Structure 1
Amino acid sequence: MPISLRQLEAFVAVCNEGNFSKAAQRIHISQSGLSILVRELEQSLDCRLFDRSTRQVSLTEAGREFRGPAARLLADLSTAVGNVRGLASRQHGHVTVAAPPLLMSRLVIGMAARFRQAYPHIALTLRDIPSEAIPAGIAGAEIDLGIGALPEDHGEYLVEPLLEGPLMALLPAAHPLARRRSLKWADIAGVPLVTLTPENTFRLSLDRSFARLGLQPDIAVEAAQLGTVISLVEAGFGAAVLPPYGALLPGGGSAVARRLEEPEVRSEIVMIRDRFRSPSAAAESFIEVARAMSAQLADRLPEGTPRRRASPRGSFVRRAAAG
């Protein structure tokens, strides 16, 4: 039995809603009609996609495997139809961009403002989520573009470097080390540190960097968000090690960023999208804005802060996650 687009639409709706009744309402069909479509799809695939009970609906292993490709297929079809109807003119459409909260506030919102000015009729959704959550959103066709750290499984995605640079130390402006132009890792290990919580990708990378150097940092305070870390430093709780984009915009003068050296550990900000899904005209428009703004920003930044990074990748002393 051939698989129909309506069957895929029913399957993805149940995945997203976690409930047959809500999924039926979402695609404007009766619940019995939706159940028939899902059952026909399962017969075509010769496997069960959902485990059903009176209380909940959950995906089987086969269902989890099938969800991403099905969602991407429907998203591609929607994009193709939209382009045929006029999206190629870049006057209409929708794009969803995700980034970690600090990067969203310090870089992506500026990109969004420029994008809105150039393309006022394209709807834009911004999602501030951790870097490690972006790949799943792209795989599920919920996110068009992600801007953040290089994913560990980056071979599964199209990754374009935007900016790269050395890790930075952030210190209260009155701190004795703030008078130096650059700092060594041994310097920063010898003062109380404010860091992200241990499960954070950037914190894990930071711990590995200290361990490789045989240094034991003095962790004074931990926080879940990088923005909170910066606020704690500004309030005098200690120093911090930041990804390069932590110094992209000046603060209120209560903290200063200094380059970390000996060794230099570099980090990069990348743009991520689905390898198997062509970007819509709306997404292409945002990509162009992101590229142009990254290049202009790199040209204006002082020495030691992030630079525009061109492919192919170069080789650096060491590399860390971007946060």
Structure 2
Amino acid sequence: MQSRLNLQQLSAFLTLADTGSFGDAAEALGVSQPALSRTIQQIEGKLGARLFDRDTRKLRLTPAGERLEPLARRLMNEYQEVFAEFDDFVAGRQGVVRIAAFPSVAALLLPSTIVSFRERQPDVRIQIWEDVGRPVHKAVLDGRADIGLSTPPPISSDLRYRPLLRDEVVLVCRNDDMLAHREEHDWSVFATRAFVILSPETGLRAMIDGAMEEAGVAAEPLFNCKQPTTIGSLVNAGLGISALSRLTLAQLDSPTLAYRKLRNPTVARSIGIVTHAARSLSPAARLFLKVLDAQAKLLAPSIDGQPQPGDVL
């Protein structure tokens, strides 16, 4: 026997069991007493069992009614819990936000964003995956990440891009270096000094090589490094000068390093938000992006601002 009651029927049964009166139960449910009576008859017919004993004074549950009552309450509670959980998801109070990001962006922008976001949505889980360039784009394209924080993806891809920060390439030297006494330098400075540079497989290296070519500067790198922290250590040791992006430099947080503007040409990359054009973001991810935008606006002046003679990292 397939005995299935809908939520309206379960509610009618439990309300009548609680009140013990057709009149009171009908009033609580907002229906007429005859309508409630028909509903109970339909329930008993569907279940093939009498649920209430009736006398002139009060209704009482039969053994079948006593067995059904806890089951019906469990079903109603689970129904409420399921949709409460769904409501939390729709409101962005639950879920997972998966982020693929450049290490420089993850280090500088994500900590403050996550702290601010968790103050509002403490039950949302945040997952971070760090890499550079194409792997970040591919993570979003494959659905392993909801949001990418990187340079623009190829125009022909199925990804959307929205600029967030302008990340300028600057000269990096020790703050006691004579180069730190001037506000700006041409790229020709690298032709006369030992040059510490990022390794060729990095996207930033390609930008630096392009600037060198445009400026007509031939500089032979003394060291090729994959990690900006290694470059910072080498420059700190007095082994050369370097060119890094402002966003990358913020990871070093060194009181003995200074940065100065590079001109002729001025080189900058766009760092922004990458999402899939055909895939909707979860409510929690959309809320996270709002907090991310706010944090990026707070950070932008320190990234976009012009270096001054006294500025150090």
Q: Is the 1:161–1:269 Cα contact (8 Å) retained in structure 2? A: yes
* Aligned 8 A contact 2:117 2:288 in 1: yes
Give 3-state SS (helix, strand or coil) of 2:110's partner: helix
Distance 2:84 2:198 in 1: 42
- Count of aligned residue pairs for this structure pair: 225
Q: Post-superposition shift, 1:178?
A: 1.3
Correspondence 1:176 to 2:206:
no
Amino acid at match of 1:174: D
Instruction: Identify if the C-alpha distance between structure 1 residues 230 and 115 changes in structure 2 by more than 3 Å, giving closer, same or farther.
Output: farther
Shift of 1:84: 4.9
Residues 219, 265 of structure 1: CA spacing in aligned structure 2 closer, same or farther, 3 A cutoff?
A: same
Counterpart for residue 94 of structure 2? 92
- Deviation of the 1:190 alpha carbon: 2.6
Cα distance in 1, alignment partners of residues 105 and 236 from structure 2:
18
AA paired with 2:218? Q
SS of 1:188's partner is helix
The CA distance in 2 between the partners of 1:291 and 1:304, in whole Å, is 22
Q: Which residue of 2 aligns with 1:308?
A: none
What displacement does 1:157 show? Answer: 1.1
1:1-323 to 2 correspondence within 5 Å? 84-153=86-155, 155-248=157-250, 251-299=253-301, 303-304=305-306
Residue 294 of structure 1, CA deviation:
1.0
Q: Distance in 1 between matches of 2:132 and 2:126?
A: 19
Aligned structure 1 segments of 4 or more residues deviating by more than 6 angstroms: none
CA contact (8 A) 1:102 1:227 kept: no
Note closer, same or farther for the CA distance 1:231–1:213 as it changes in structure 2 (3 Å cut): same
Secondary structure at 2:185's aligned position in 1?
strand
> TM-score scaled to structure 1, two decimals?
0.64
Instruction: State, as a whole percentage, how many aligned pairs show the same letter.
Output: 23
For residues 111-157 of structure 1, the C-alpha deviation after alignment (integer angstroms, 9 at most, x for no partner) is 22222222211000111212321011111100111112222446531
- The answer to whether the 8 Å contact 1:193/1:238 transfers is yes
CA distance 1:126–1:175, change in 2 (3 Å) = same
Q: Give the 3-state SS of the residue equivalent to 2:255 in structure 1.
A: coil
Unaligned runs of 5+ in 1: 1-80, 306-323
Give the deviation of 1:280 after TM superposition. Answer: 0.7
**Greater Rg by CA:** 2
Q: Determine if contact 1:165/1:304 at 8 Å carries over to the other structure.
A: no
Moved more, 271-280 or 110-119: 110-119
The aligned residue for residue 12 of structure 2 is: none
After TM superposition, the structure 1 stretch with the greater mean CA deviation from structure 2, 276-285 or 241-250, is 241-250
Kept in 2, the 8 Å contact 1:149–1:268? The answer is yes
Alpha-carbon distance change, 103 to 88 in structure 1, aligned in 2, over 3 angstroms: same
C-alpha distance in 1 between matches for 2:174 and 2:112: 26
Distance 1:300 1:207, change over 3 A: closer
Structure 2 partner of 1:319: none
Shift in Å at residue 85 of structure 1? 5.0
Please tell me the root mean square deviation across aligned C-alpha atoms, in Å.
Answer: 2.4
- Secondary structure, in 3 states, of the residue corresponding to 1:167? strand
Q: Distance in 1 between matches of 2:156 and 2:116?
A: 28
Kindly provide the amino acid, as one letter, of the partner of residue 101 in structure 1.
P
Structure 2: 5+ residue stretches without partners: 1-82, 308-313
Q: Per-residue deviation at 1:165?
A: 4.4
Cα distance in structure 2, aligned partners of 1:217 and 1:261: 16
Are the counterparts in 1 of residues 194 and 240 from structure 2 also a CA contact under 8 Å?
A: yes
Aligned partner of 2:10 in structure 1 is none
Q: Distance in 2 between the 1:82 and 1:124 partners?
A: 21
User: CA deviation digits over 1:79-137, x for unaligned, max 9?
Assistant: xx999553121111000112122322122222222222222110001112123210111
Deviation at 1:260, TM superposition (A): 0.8
- In 1: Cα distance, 2:219 partner to 2:144 partner: 39
